[in-house]
Amino acid sequence: MSKIKEFTLASAGPPEGLRCDVEHDAPALAISVGGYAGNFFHQFGDGLVPLYVTANTVFPGRDFVLVIDGASDQWMHKYEDLLRALSDRPVVYVDRANASHCFPSASVGLISHGFMTINPKLTPNSRSFLHFRRFLDEAYRRNRPGAAPRPPARRPRLVITARTGGVGRVILNQKEVEDLARAIGFEVAVFEPNRSTPLRKAYELINSSHALVGVHGAALTHALFLRPGAVLGQVVPIGGDWVARACFEEPARAMGLSYVEYGIAPEESSLVEKYGRDNVLLRDPAAAKGGGGWSAKVMNVYLKEQNVRLDLVRFRGFLEK
């Protein structure tokens, strides 16, 4: 919350000593994109999905001006297609505004229906997560004169999300996994996104593919770009059952995707080497978490210390499915 700016609303004209440099004839929707917005999953779960919900609840005609605080240049560039699809009016970025803007009315903050979800019973026009998926199509298919579509795959295209470096949840034998997928019959594309990866480019790859597979992590948020009927395959590390279900399984099913899951065995986790097979972290993750939510220490173990070395015999069955 320390990264979220407070807004003061003035309902009787501008405060004394200020004037309206710009008078808008449409209402404002004022939001912050600070907080957890540096994480790709949270940019959607805490930001863009609630923004879509709010726009369709408060301004179903999409005639409003977005007033955004805390946006970096990178954030602005990355999400400009989505913002333009929400409203045709130019965005006002608070951090860069050098004028006083006045609006006939304003809505401040976002409406959330929960963790990466949209409840159609709570939206006036019964918008669902499937509608949000169609909105992404609308955003990335407009204003593309002369854009050549990605050629269709001759074999089923499987996108494998890659993680490298000391971030945890790396597939230690990824090359063997890629070779296995090709041997089974997939056309394999390895996708290693970073903060500067253009979303339009990611959309074109994922939307033209038949399946997306990876270890639980923010990169699987790109499953939002899969077409309904495609497959999301999530590799769930030790201790990741609940967060894997809430972050990706439930949204995937809500978007009409097929969902398959590969829960690793303790022997496939790098934690065995560090803590031993009989440690409570591997033997009983629920007990290790203490039942009251994850402590930062336990979360770091499961999400940042843990890598996986997939059993290729077991994983063959998963890929074949």
Question: What total of structural domains would you count in the chain?
Answer: 2
* Cα–Cα distance measured from residue 198 to residue 254, given in angstroms and rounded to the nearest whole number: 25
How many CB atoms neighbour CB 233 within 10 A?
A: 21
53 and 116 share a domain? yes
In a domain, 146, yes or no: no
81 and 177, same structural domain?
Answer: no
Look up tokens 């056309």; give the residue.
187
Neighbour tally for 284: CB within 10 Å = 11
Query: pTM value?
Result: 0.90
Instruction: Work out the pLDDT band at 203, boundaries 50, 70, 90.
Output: very high
Q: Nearest 5°: CA angle at 292, between 287 and 298?
A: 60
Angle 60-64-68 from CA coordinates, rounded to 5°:
120
Token digits of residue 67: 């007033």
Q: How confident is the model at residue 187 (pLDDT cuts 50, 70, 90)?
A: very high
For residue 203, what is the domain's CATH number? 3.40.50
For residue 9, being part of any structural domain is answered with no
105 with 207, same domain? Answer: no
Residue % of the chain over a pLDDT of 90: 72
End of a domain among 109, 128, 147? 128
Asked if residue 78 belongs to a domain, the reply is: yes
SS3 162: coil
Are residues 80 and 198 located together in one domain of the fold? Answer: no
81 and 187, same structural domain? no
pLDDT 10s digits, 83-95: 999 999 999 999 8
27: pLDDT strictly greater than 90: yes
Range of lowest pLDDT (8-17, 53-62, 261-270, 274-283): 8-17
Residues 210 and 71 in one domain: no
Let me know whether 257 and 181 are in one domain.
yes
Q: Are residues 113 and 204 in the same domain?
A: no
pLDDT digits (tens, 9 = 90+) for 91-149: 999 989 999 898 999 999 999 999 899 999 999 889 999 999 999 999 998 755 555 56
The reply to whether 228 falls in a domain is yes
What pLDDT was estimated at residue 12?
Answer: 67
- CB of 169 within 8 A of CB of 163? yes
136 in a domain, yes or no?
Answer: no
Domain that holds residue 29: 22-128
Domain assignment present for 14: no
Residue 189 sits in the same domain as residue 314? yes
For the chain, the average pLDDT equals 90
Angle at 167 between CA 164 and CA 168, to 5 degrees: 90
Is 213 contained in some domain? yes
User: Which amino acid would we find at residue 246?
Assistant: A
**140 lies in some domain:** no
Query: Domain check: are 48 and 191 in the same one?
Result: no
User: Is 124 in the same domain as 164?
Assistant: no
CA distance linking residue 148 with residue 91, whole number of Å: 29
**Are residues 161 and 97 located together in one domain of the fold?**
no
Of 113, 128, 143, the position where a domain reaches its end is: 128
Specify the pLDDT at position 154: 81
Rounded CA separation 21/123 (Å): 35
pLDDT on residue 148:
55
Q: Which of 112, 128, 144 is the last residue of a domain?
A: 128
Crossing angle of the two packed helices 312-320 and 174-184, in degrees rounded to 10: 40
Do 89 and 64 touch, CB atoms closer than 8 A?
A: yes
Please spell the DSSP secondary structure of 257-277, one letter per residue. Answer: -EEEEEEPPGGGBTHHHHH-T
Quote the pLDDT of residue 298: 87
Residue 207 tokens read as: 């939307």
Q: Within 10 Å of residue 293's Cβ, how many Cβ atoms? A: 9
